[in-house]
Structure 1
Amino acid sequence: MDVFDDLVGQEQAATVLRRAAAAAAEVLAGGRGAGMTHAWLFTGPPGSGRFDAAKAFAAALLCPDQGCGHCDACHQVMIGSHPDLESVRPQGLSYGVKQTRELILRAAGRSTMGRWRVVLFDDADRATEQAANALLKAIEEPPPRTVWLLCAPAPDDMIITIRSRCRVVTLVTPSSQAVAHALVTRDDVAPGVAESVARAAQGDLARARRLALDESARGRREAVLSIPKSLTNVGECIAAAEKLVKTADEDAAAATAELNESEIAELRAIYGEGSTGKGLNKGLVRGGAGALKELETAQKSRATRIKRESLDTALLDLMAFYRDVLAVQFGAPVELANGDRRAELEAAARASRPEETLKRTAAIMRCRERLAANVNPQIAVEALTLALWKPGN
């Protein structure tokens, strides 16, 4: 067992990374280390585990035994406390040039443990154009023994000058069988439940785990899947859209409220709110006004991202539903994400033509694009529900 054994359905990528870890050890021993490079780009669809793969590789680089999974170094990497690991996971919609320059400065230090200095940058595609250019300079001329591990959905999500300097590791969507096995063995989920949520999550292990262990997540999915048959008139379409957007707002509020309060309290404490002494409190709090405004902007960006992700999850569930309808209409011998709703799928298949089903899936993709382009969510989702009701209009 090593750190790569925890990667679900990624045997080919694990083989590549084990060889690279061995090459990295050869470099440390004074050898050539063919196959080891200073910049890596981990790509793969949502749920494929690209961040987990990059973290496992970071552990293999910083572990004396190439990622044994049991030593202090591996444990520190997995919990994010290793002194030679700089880990970044952008919480907002974008990652700015100021943040990137600060990251580059932190990454420039020498290795504490005498092995590598590793920078793990999740969602690197969220870097702004200026941030990407700053990142490019750091990747072109890295300090000795500094390794950049970037994660993005696809190579094309990064500017060509960055991806051309990285070795790309492509992850695949795990099979539902692999996801179900992981849920049974790691989370003690009942086999029947594990198989059902694995199909529903379409290879996304994190989503499957939430569906298996979180009753509210299952409830939200059931509510989304009930939408197609509820769209009988314009009023129902508007109501369904309002419900989807409201649920996304609630998800964002629930995920950020407590964190926002703690961040603001911490910032106010740093700038001296509540301190005693003549003129001390007002001066320091005034000096922190800009920092507080910057924090609030970042918090709004984080809430918007969570809201978009919540809506996108709902849209992907709808897409899976109509994909299943299309499979039933054509009699395709494929695994259905919603096989437990077979009667409902067959009823929807009989009530429409394949051409209409395709128009509905196109409307869902159009809605996702509009939300990504910052169109008002209520307007975008209302247009979608109306198209799902009457795709020919």
Structure 2
Amino acid sequence: MPVPDVRGAVWADLVGQDRAVDELAAAASDPTAMTHAWLFTGPPGSGRSVAARAFAAALQCRFDGCGQCQDCHTVLAGTHPDVREVVPEGLSISVAEMRALVQIAARRPSTGGWQIVVISDADRLTEGASNALLKAVEEPSERTVFLLCAPSDHPDDVPVTIRSRCRLVPLRTPPADAIASVLADRDGIAEETASWAASVCGGHIGRARRLARDEEARSRRESVLRLPLSLRGFGEVFAAADDLIGAAEAEAADVTGSRDLAEREALATAMGAGGTGKGVASAQRGAKAAERELERRQRSRSTRSQRDALDRALVDLAGFYRDVLVVRVGASVPVTNPDRSLDVSRAAADWTPESALRRLEAVLACREALELNVKPRIAVEAMLTVLYRGG
């Protein structure tokens, strides 16, 4: 059987990261270049989880990532028995979850060559979870590999003790032309739409796809970018806060609603709902604790989804004020929202650079406040007050 051409196979979805792909492909094909722990860093949309998943597939594949064999397909689909991916749905990754994962990771591979653990959003590890992971990374099993993903290698994102034991793979923001090519050539999106989405997505290919395909996503972006010039009084401030928070809650409900219902129905069935006979009453009484735990997890997931939706709106706002500052000082750098050039120019003519900068800082402070669990309404209203007053 001929060896497939693998250079563009499992790595095909990793856009604009040639240097990282070369390093990872070399490690997958050369055992002497391997190490037991890797840390993928980069801004949102750079492809941290995509890179980790592709690397996992290349490690399990006999041809170092052909993209065609069963190992490649099952790893990329998330069903390979020797590859486990932790994607936090709530606000954090708990110590109990990490301890269970570490125990599994210590086992020998059942079918593949490696036992691989992929931790998306490793910056959400609790202190206890980080300590549990550290012990495993310090003394790993011979055929175990940990692939961690985080925005940066800063101690706020990844503890120094863990970072020092990982091989760093930094990813960059993909260029707009590379994103546009993927949308047009691989996803079949019209070139004009692909080019527009790539130019306004901030280098986030997943967001570019949503904007290109989803009319509601485009509508939400338009609503957010109309805010800066629509704040003419405190009435508009409070109305805008209602709109931003309401839109985030609605978006989160769309994402989690059907899944929550399916989970509740599955739990009810497992606990004997509708059943008769001996043991049913006892099982239903025992189901109360399971129901409370499910409700807790669903609330945490809903909160995370709402904050993620709100954060996307804040990123759009930050991009607008950044563009105003760029135009106001005459910087020779690309703008984030080229399709809002008229609004940006109008704002740049009315605001001083200091005022534009204070507004940008208010948006960034709101994002930080939300990460510190400040109530969204308080954080958003405080931000919008600064956006209205300019300082």
TM-score surpassing 0.5? yes
d(CA) in 2 for partners of 1:367 and 1:388? Answer: 11
Shift of 1:269: 2.1
Give the alignment partner of residue 64 of structure 1, picking from 62, 65, 77.
Answer: 62
The aligned counterpart of 2:39 is: 41
Partner deviation per Cα, 1:291-340 (whole Å, 9 max, x = no partner) = 22111111111111111111111111011111111111122222222212
d(CA) in 2 for partners of 1:174 and 1:131? Answer: 31
The aligned counterpart of 2:23 is: 16
d(CA) in 2 for partners of 1:167 and 1:150? Answer: 10
Gaps of 5+ in 2: 1-7
The aligned counterpart of 2:5 is: none
- Tell whether 2:10 aligns with 1:3: yes
SS in 2 for 1:173: coil
Letter in 1 for 2:194: A
The aligned counterpart of 1:347 is: 346
- Tell whether 2:83 aligns with 1:76: no
Which shifted more, 56-65 or 363-372?
363-372
Output the aligned Cα RMSD: 1.2
Letter in 1 for 2:384: T
d(CA) in 2 for partners of 1:100 and 1:71? Answer: 30
Gaps of 5+ in 1: 25-32
The aligned counterpart of 1:388 is: 387
d(CA) in 2 for partners of 1:265 and 1:327? Answer: 52
Letter in 1 for 2:235: G
The aligned counterpart of 1:330 is: 329
Query: What is the 5 A alignment of 1:1-393?
Result: 1-24=8-31, 33=32, 35-156=33-154, 157-278=157-278, 280-392=279-391
Which shifted more, 372-381 or 61-70?
372-381
Shift of 1:271: 2.5
CA contact (8 A) 1:198 1:208 kept: yes
The aligned counterpart of 1:28 is: none
Partner deviation per Cα, 1:36-94 (whole Å, 9 max, x = no partner) = 11111111110001000000000010000000111111111110111211122110001
d(CA) in 1 for partners of 2:95 and 2:253? Answer: 27
d(CA) in 2 for partners of 1:282 and 1:128? Answer: 38
Shift of 1:204: 0.2
Identity percentage of aligned residues: 50
d(CA) in 2 for partners of 1:160 and 1:334? Answer: 34
CA contact (8 A) 2:37 2:166 kept: yes
d(CA) in 2 for partners of 1:315 and 1:327? Answer: 18
d(CA) in 1 for partners of 2:340 and 2:95? Answer: 48
Letter in 2 for 1:54: A
The aligned counterpart of 2:4 is: none
Shift of 1:182: 1.0
